[in-house]
Amino acid sequence: EVQLVESGGGLVKPGGSLRLSCAASGFTFSRYNMNWVRQAPGKGLEWVSSFSSSSSHLDYADSVKGRFTISRDNAKNSLYLQMNSLRAEDTAVYYCAREDCSSTSCYPGAFDIWGQGTMVTVSS
Amino acid sequence: QSALTQPASVSGSPGQSITISCTGTSSDVGGYNYVSWYQQHPGKAPKLMIYDVSNRPSGVSNRFSGTKSGNTASLIISGLQAEDEADYYCNSYTSSSTYVFGTGTKVTVL
- Distance (Å) from the alpha carbon of B45 to chain A's nearest alpha carbon: 6
The total number of residues shown for chain B amounts to 110
The whole-chain average pLDDT of chain A stands at 95
What is the percent of chain B with per-residue pLDDT over 70, rounded to a whole number? Answer: 100
Band the pLDDT of A123: cuts 50, 70, 90. Answer: very high
- Distance (Å) from the alpha carbon of A44 to chain B's nearest alpha carbon: 6
Comparing CB atoms, the residue among A59, A100, A114 nearest residue B97 is A59
Torsional class of B82: left (φ above 0), alpha (ψ -120 to 50), beta (otherwise): alpha
- Single out the residue of B98, B35, B103 nearest to residue B71, CA to CA: B35
Cα→Cα distances B23→A9, A88, B6, Å: 33, 29, 7
Question: Which of A93, A98, A111 has the highest number of chain B CBs within 10 A, making it the mutation to test binding with B?
Answer: A111
Residues of A in contact with B100 (CB under 8 A): 47
A2-18 pLDDT, tens digit per residue, is 999 999 999 999 999 99
A48-88 pLDDT, tens digit per residue, is 999 988 777 889 999 999 999 999 999 999 999 999 999 99
Comparing CB atoms, the residue among B35, B92, B101 nearest residue A44 is B101
